[in-house]
Amino acid sequence: EAAIPFHGSRQAGVTVPQQPATHLLAFDLPQTSAAADRQTLRGVLGALTRTLATAASDAPPDPRLQGGGTTRLSSLVGVGPALATRLGLDVPAELAELPPFPGDRLDPARGGGDLLVQLCAADRWTLTVAAELAGTAAHTAGAAPRWSQSGFLPRTAPGTTPRNLFGFKDGTANPDDAAAEQWVWGPPGAHRNGTVLVYRRIRMDVAGFAALPEDQRDRVIGRRAGDGVPLTGTAEHDDPDIYAKNPDGSYVIPATAHVRLTSPRLDGGARMLRRSYSYDDGPTDRGLLFCAFMRDPAQFTRVQNRLAGRDALMPFLTHQASAVAYVLPGAAPGGTLGDRLWT
Ligand code: HEM
């Protein structure tokens, strides 16, 4: 199989079809003077660009990445809102931290960060080696590791939707290319090829949810677990019709169903590109690494506020960590990620 090209107008970590496994890494930069910190950031972005491009190439020199064909590594690098403000970087005006949400149990040691790197590949080994290489490169250039998190997907036939640990297909109603140009990628101008990643580490009460009767689980989501078909439709990719009613006047997709409360119809058509992974960090700590790309993080805030206190999924979820990053436009061959951050 061919390597996934590192260079391009947009970073491959967002544009390639979702891969089986991920590893997220976050770093902080020292806080000295703005001028010195800008210099450090330049150095770190240069080091990450070189390291990630080499690791993703046809023939990575590291022997640990040889022997199994091409690595099929993809990556993305983003900068956090606090760093952008501190250093006066040219990022979209919408880039901001998320507000607190009711029920949040966020561990700052597992979230936030000045720089975010998401690696994706077919296997855990490639990710571990690439994470080690990227971590060393960033650290040598002056960044301090903050947190890392690995995640995975079930085996899924190409072109079909992977499931999450509640057993539901997750990622069905994602924007098509035209909708993504409007809602996921930046507006025409300097940030056209950038996007914003919202990351939430959400612990799931898998046993508690599994104990619900099957028809109730389907009503919590508003789709059938077995085939992902909306309760108002006949095929997985039918649009959930949140206005359809039963003969008794109640909604077919219940008022508290997840796909009703997250429906773009309640949000002026706004859509985010969800590419979530599952995680397993021990018998009582399993869940979803919710990863969604959008033009403006307020898109997430609006949906999450609509979910809070209403979503039938909520009793089974705990949001444990959170991060926001401006995913930089891609690097041209010979270029460096983030070379347009400096105004
Ligand atoms: C749809 C599960 C958290 C936003 C869905 C679907 C499932 C699901 C099964 C239907 C299939 C699909 O279209 O992908 C979960 C689980 C979560 C979770 C298990 C937590 C562990 C969230 C959060 C948000 C969100 C935190 C945003 C604040 C959406 C959106 C859709 C969706 C926008 C598509 C709605 C549509 O266009 O029909 N989710 N979700 N989800 N979810 Fe979630």
**How large is the average pLDDT for residues 236-247?**
98
5 Cα: distance to centroid of ligand 1 (angstroms):
30
Nearest of 185, 117, 142 to residue 323 by alpha carbon: 117
Does the interface ipTM go beyond 0.90? Answer: yes
Q: pTM of the full predicted structure?
A: 0.98
Neighbour count for residue 126 (Cβ, 10 Å):
25
| Smallest CA separation from ligand 1 atom 26, residue | 304
Q: Write out residues with Cβ below 6 Å of ligand 1.
A: 164, 166, 168-173, 200, 202, 204, 221, 223, 240, 258-259, 262-264, 272, 287-288, 290, 300, 303-304, 307, 313, 317
The answer to whether residue 296 is catalytic is no
pLDDT for position 67: 85
Q: What is the mean pLDDT of the chain?
A: 97
pLDDT for position 74: 98
Report the b/e string of 321-332 with b at 16+ CB within 10 A.
bbbbbbbbbbbe
**How large is the average pLDDT for residues 142-169?**
97
343 pLDDT above the threshold of 80 = no
| Smallest CA separation from ligand 1 atom 4, residue | 262
pLDDT band for position 133 (cuts 50, 70, 90): very high
**69 against 259, higher pLDDT:** 259
pLDDT digits (tens, 9 = 90+) for 61-100: 999 999 888 899 999 999 999 999 999 999 999 999 999 9
pLDDT band for position 1 (cuts 50, 70, 90): confident
| Smallest CA separation from ligand 1 atom 7, residue | 170
Question: Which of 37, 114, 170, 311 is the catalytic position?
Answer: 170
Task: Give just the sign of the alpha carbon dihedral 99, 100, 103, 109.
Answer: positive
